[in-house]
A = this chain, B = another copy of it.
Amino acid sequence: MIRADLVVTGIAELATLRPGPIPRVGRAAQELGLVRDAAVAVDGGRFVYVGSERGLARRVRLRGGGRRRDAGGGVVVPGFVDAHTHVLYAGDRAFELALKARGLSYAAIARRGGGILATVRATRRASPEQLLAETEGRLASMAASGTTTVEVKTGYDLRPQGELRLLRLIPRLARRSGLRLVPTFLGAHAVPPEYVGRSDVYVDRLIRECLPVIARERLAAFVDVFTEPGFFSVHASERLLRAAARLGLGLKVHADEFVRSGGARLAARRGARSADHLLAAHDDDRRALALAGVTAVVLPVTAFGSGTSRRAPARELVDAGIPVAIGTDCSPNAWSTSMPLALALAVHGGRLSPAEALTAATVNAAHAVGVEDAGTVGVGRPADFSVFSLPHVDQLGYRFDAIPAVVYRQGNVISSRALRQ
């Protein structure tokens, strides 16, 4: 008999998924590894049984004091992996929206104390406790929407020591939130005000003062760079990525978001783990990514923050044979913590099928952030999963508003909700 400290039965449909990355999703039922009338058992935070409810009755015994839960005929999916977030910052930029409504430009809003530098000022000033508390609120909201693993970028201090300070907060955030966090160093998020016109000098400092510390203390899994005119040139970006790769760090690129600036080809050339955004990428760029085995991270909510109507090119990327992942891109510019919303927009605007979107939000996102044991439901893997009161998994991606009933991380409930008490 298998011993378990948690058993969940009454699952009408369980999407186990299979290890990724998965560039093309074929027949949904097979690719999603669907099991009907399913059950799972967990012991010590990992799955010890995944299969039919009948099999569980025969093979699994609950330990004394163990928990038996019923999914109420809902669906179970792996905890979502949010592959791209700027969730670690302080301050509030809601006030900008009233200015935008009056037609003020980004520059005019910046002159009134808005824009990214407002967040940089607030983040630099914030105490560790303030940063932890504000970010923890956003992470709790992510957990409430079914996310169990979150990539967390720095990038709102823009001073070498300040960026390292942000990285050092991430393990504390993980403990406080109960979520699995993947730290990414994005010191090259924007050119800091002190280095306008001298971005090369700033990149030199990041290479010299940050990267060795990050590698030595294992502060980040990835180094990311914002490659875009007005931010960092392809040349400067490539110097940073080369230095990071030499130290064994993983690479990511904010690529071709506003204009086709060479970010995708840079990611392909350097063998980055992911290229993110890609709204302005062309066929050639997608072919380069496919050949190099780079994962594409699409961010379907982001365009709303800038008031544009551009849609994430999810269909085009999948059709090019690239494994596609999804992130919320949660930031002060577009405060969105909900992966179900990102999935729905990837389907309705980005033209993925629901099965493709679910794959993108789980196994492919896990691959994009380098946590290969996340994003699937399987024996031996961390018991990170959500119960949704939905008739079948395709309703994720169909509905804009799916909220899980219960979210488990390593077998512990990190969010639950009650209706009509």
Chain A positions within 8 Å of B, measured between CB atoms, are 28, 92-95, 97-98, 100-102, 137, 140-141, 143-145, 178, 301, 304-305, 307, 309-311, 315, 334-338, 341, 344-345, 347-349, 351-356, 389, 391-392, 394-395, 397-401, 403, 413-421
Contacts and interface: CB of A to CB of B under 8 A. Distances in A.
Give how many copies assemble into the complex: 2
Nearest to A342: B400
Given A301-B400, A391-B92, A144 B419 contact: yes
Which of A97, A309, A354 counts the most chain B CB atoms within 10 A? A97
B97 A398 contact: yes
Given A98-B354, A140-B420, A145 B401 contact: yes
A401 B341 contact: yes
5 contacts: A28-B98, A92-B395, A309-B349, A338-B401, A416-B421
B311 A309 contact: yes
A394 B93 CA distance: 10
A419 B347 contact: no
Contacts of A100: 351
A101 B351 contact: yes
Nearest to A338: B401
Nearest to A398: B94
Contact of A97 (B307, B354, B391): B354
A336 B341 CA distance: 10
Given A28-B98, A98-B354, A341-B341, A305 B401 contact: no
A117 B124 CA distance: 57
Contacts of A141: 401, 403
A97 B394 contact: yes
B97 A144 contact: no
B418 A335 contact: no
Contact of A304 (B337, B348, B394): B348
Given A304-B400, A309-B311, A416-B419, 8 more contacts: A98-B354, A101-B353, A305-B348, A307-B348, A307-B351, A334-B348, A337-B401, A416-B417
Contacts of A311: 309
A193 to B, nearest CB: 25
